[in-house]
Structure 1
Amino acid sequence: MAVKLTSFGRMTRKLRVEWNERLVDMANQLGVTGGYLSAVERGLRNAPIEWIDVLTTKYELSEEESACFTNALSESRLFNKLDVSHLSFDDKQMIKLLVEKLPSLNQGFKEELTQLMSR
């Protein structure tokens, strides 16, 4: 299986290299194993949202850098299990909104939406 790096994985790996840290060093900062961090970097596992605060503090990220990491994390959590690389940005945003709103939609609307999408 080909590994598709997520933006968050690439950014995390780049940050680690810039700080001249081994994978295990950053993993310790994040409170996880090196294997888990490696899987996140390679897009195989999701990173917890709490990592943003740790990365921002420990690696002295600017507000802009922190926002970039937050956006990348959000994207990786959404897309790393489903290949949507062929979709436009707008289509990806639509999927993101649907995933976020889906739990709050009533069952009738969900059924209507399913029927509409099945056409």
Structure 2
Amino acid sequence: MLTLFGKFCRKLRIDNGDLLKDMAGKLEVTSSYLSAVENGKRNVPHNWIDKISDLYSLSPEDYNELKQAVEASKKVVKLDFTDFSSEDKNTILALAREFKGLDEDDKIKIKNILHKNKNGRN
């Protein structure tokens, strides 16, 4: 299934008359690798935002759209737990594992708690 990043790239290719293989060549990867990234089977490499922006001379608006598409398309997120207690790590991981199973009311409650805490710090 095409991710937001994949949709962005497809539109970018169409607008620039490029095929998938053309963009893959510019990114110095195979067509199958680019396709896997666009379809969410692999994360977008961290250097691709600036590389695509440079290759296609993206406007600031398009650059921001690309950044948002990359963030929305991430399948795997790495977290640094260096300063977290074992209990906090376990709580965060439990939330991540169980999040899909929560109903919308519980998700809203969690978001409200997080927003309340974030706003309380400012």
Distance 1:40 1:101 in 2: 21
| Percent of pairs with identical residues | 38
Computing the radius of gyration from Cα coordinates, the structure with the larger value is: 2
Deviation at 1:5, TM superposition (A): 1.6
Q: Deviations over 1:9-65 (max 9, x none)?
A: 110111011111111110011111011111122222211021111111111101111
Residue 86 of structure 2 corresponds to which residue in structure 1? Answer: 107
1:109 maps to amino acid: D
Q: Is the 8 A contact 1:9 1:40 kept in 2?
A: yes
| Aligned-residue CA RMSD (Å) | 2.5
Distance 1:65 1:37 in 2: 19
TM-score for both structures, normalised by structure 1: 0.67
Query: Which structure 1 residue ranges, 5 or more long, are not aligned?
Result: 82-98
Distance 1:67 1:34 in 2: 25
Instruction: Name which of 48, 56, 59 aligns with 2:56.
Output: 59
Residue 68 of structure 1 corresponds to which residue in structure 2? Answer: 65
Q: Is the 8 A contact 1:49 1:73 kept in 2?
A: no
Q: Is the 8 A contact 2:37 2:44 kept in 1?
A: yes
Q: Is the 8 A contact 1:6 1:42 kept in 2?
A: yes
Structure 2 residue matching 1:103: 3-state secondary structure: coil
Query: Which structure 2 residue ranges, 5 or more long, are not aligned?
Result: 99-122
TM-score for both structures, normalised by structure 2: 0.66
Instruction: Name which of 23, 26, 33 aligns with 1:26.
Output: 23
Distance 1:101 1:44 in 2: 20
Distance 2:59 2:34 in 1: 22
Q: Is the 8 A contact 2:81 2:89 kept in 1?
A: no
